[in-house]
């Protein structure tokens, strides 16, 4: 494909919409090149997110292609097909003569896809964000660890009517025998403690359990509103696993699927070895020239 040096920039916009909607451009402006470097490659790597990105050196064109490929994998059929609803067999209840209510007619005639609905929803959200009304925000994302941790602390320090006799459990881990003496919860099902054992007092065998959440905390969790569709998606890179740096992503041979150990010098596609490289170059040369 000779595109005369025009490089397509990755874009999250979807255009095949009947009707239209304002879609806010939520792309993060990551193209801040660190001032210290004069190295062209380093600046480029930093601009594309550095090592966090799966393909650290992928340029905008490859990125757009990857995104297109992934979007293509979400389709029902390989090509666009229109399947009309077949006529009812004879003898079935005639539904055609029935009048639809206006709502129902609107729903039935809507040709919107899920993407259209999602774009509408995002546009509506951003509109609400822009000029907030007195009504509370529909959902507060509580995805951070720090948030829930602070909520936990807050809840554990607040007064509970059920905790009358027992002392307040420490926010730190406590020993297992203590767990059974924790204040009685009205929500959690009470289980009998395990039968006593001769070695229970052995400090080497002591197991530590984090304290169970209080009733208030559980109620707050259960009453929390659902996240929006996009917020519920897993966050990338996955840094919540304790290790800050995610594992480097794996690259595979574009031809046979083995590890992608070498790179085509023309287009940067990964292949495993000479055989696959030659197979790849047959297509690559017709695309990019010698």
Partner 1 sequence: MAPPRKSKPQRPPPPSRTLVLDNGAYTIKAGFVAGHIADDPRVIPNCITRDHDGKTYVASEIAQCADFSEAVFRRPVEKGFIVNWEAQKEIWEREFLDDKAPQPCDPSETRLLLSEPSNSLPVLQANCDQMVFEEFGFASYYRGLSASFNAYHDTQAIFRAQTEPLSSEPLPVRPPAVAAQSPAELVLLIDSGHSHTTVTPVFQGRPIHPAVRRLDVGGKFLTNYLTHVLSLRHYDMRNETYIVNEIKEAACYVSLDFKRDLERSWKGTRGERREPYISGGGIAKDYVLPDFHTRSQGIVRDYDPAQAFRAKRPAMGESSEDILTLRNERFTIPELLFSPSDIGMRQPGLPDLVLQSLHCLPQGLWPGFLANILVVGGNSLLDGFTRRLQEDITKLVPDECTVRVARPPNPITNTWQGGANLARHPQFDSLAVTKLEYEEHGSVWLARKFAAGLGP
Q: In the window 203-222, what residues touch partner 1 (CB under 8 A)? A: 207-213, 217-219, 221-222
186 within 8 A of 215, measured Cβ to Cβ:
yes
- Residue from 118, 123, 264, 284 touching partner 1 (CB under 8 A): that is 118
Q: Please, what is the minimum distance in Å from the beta carbon of residue 4 to partner 1?
A: 26
Q: How many Å apart are CA 106 and CA 168, to the nearest integer? A: 58
39 vs 100 by CB, closer to partner 1? 100
Residue 163: count other Cβ atoms within 10 Å of its Cβ: 14
- Residue from 60, 187, 205, 206 touching partner 1 (CB under 8 A): that is 187
Judged on CB neighbours under 10 Å (0-12, 13-18, 19+), 9 is exposed
- Residue from 47, 60, 104, 205 touching partner 1 (CB under 8 A): that is 104
Does position 286 bind partner 1 by CB under 8 A? Answer: no
89 vs 289 by CB, closer to partner 1? 89
The CA-atom distances, in angstroms, between 213 and each of 57, 198, 206 are: 46, 30, 21
3-state secondary structure of 252: strand
158 contact partners, CB below 8 Å, separation of at least 6: 216
216 within 8 A of 158, measured Cβ to Cβ:
yes
Sites for partner 1 among residues 236-275 (CB under 8 A): 236-238, 240-242, 249-250, 252, 255-259, 272-275
Given the rule CB under 8 A, which of 25-33, 127-135, 143-151, 197-205 is the region that contacts partner 1? Answer: 143-151
Sites for partner 1 among residues 40-79 (CB under 8 A): 54-55, 66, 69-70, 72-79
State the greatest distance between any 2 C-alpha atoms of the chain, in Å, as a whole number.
Answer: 83
Q: Please, what is the minimum distance in Å from the beta carbon of residue 180 to partner 1?
A: 14
35 vs 87 by CB, closer to partner 1? 87
DSSP 182: S
Q: How many Å apart are CA 290 and CA 270, to the nearest integer? A: 18
- Residue from 131, 145, 157, 245 touching partner 1 (CB under 8 A): that is 145
Judged on CB neighbours under 10 Å (0-12, 13-18, 19+), 62 is middle
Q: Please, what is the minimum distance in Å from the beta carbon of residue 183 to partner 1?
A: 13
**Rg of the chain in Å (alpha carbons):** 29
- Residue from 8, 129, 166, 231 touching partner 1 (CB under 8 A): that is 231
- Residue from 28, 101, 202, 245 touching partner 1 (CB under 8 A): that is 101
Q: Please, what is the minimum distance in Å from the beta carbon of residue 33 to partner 1?
A: 22
């Amino acid at each position: 494909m000779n595109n005369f040096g025009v490089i397509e920039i990755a874009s999250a916009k979807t255009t095949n919409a009947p009707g239209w909607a304002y879609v806010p451009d939520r792309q993060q402006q990551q193209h801040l090149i660190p001032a210290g470097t004069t190295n062209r490659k380093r600046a480029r790597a930093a601009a594309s997110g550095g090592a966090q990105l799966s393909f650290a050196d992928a340029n905008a064109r490859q990125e757009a292609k990857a995104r297109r490929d992934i979007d293509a994998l979400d389709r029902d059929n390989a090509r666009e097909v229109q399947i009309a609803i077949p006529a009812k067999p004879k003898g079935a209840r005639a539904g055609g003569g029935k009048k639809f209510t206006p709502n129902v007619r609107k729903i039935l005639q809507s040709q919107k896809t899920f993407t259209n609905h999602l774009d509408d929803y995002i546009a509506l959200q951003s509109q609400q964000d822009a000029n907030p009304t007195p009504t509370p925000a529909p959902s507060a994302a509580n995805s951070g660890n720090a948030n829930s941790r602070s909520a936990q602390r807050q809840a554990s320090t607040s007064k509970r009517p059920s905790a009358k006799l027992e002392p307040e459990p420490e926010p730190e881990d406590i020993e297992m025998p203590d767990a059974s003496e924790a204040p009685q919860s009205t929500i959690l099902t009470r289980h009998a403690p395990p039968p006593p054992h001769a070695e229970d007092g052995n400090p080497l065998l002591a197991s530590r359990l984090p304290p169970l959440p209080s009733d208030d905390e559980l109620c707050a969790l259960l009453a929390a509103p659902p996240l929006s569709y996009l917020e519920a998606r897993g966050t990338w890179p996955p840094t919540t696993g304790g290790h800050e740096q995610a594992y480097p992503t794996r690259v595979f041979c574009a031809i046979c699927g083995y590890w992608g150990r070498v790179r085509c010098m023309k287009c940067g596609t990964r292949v495993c070895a000479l055989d696959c490289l030659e197979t790849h170059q047959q297509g690559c040369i017709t695309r990019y020239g010698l």
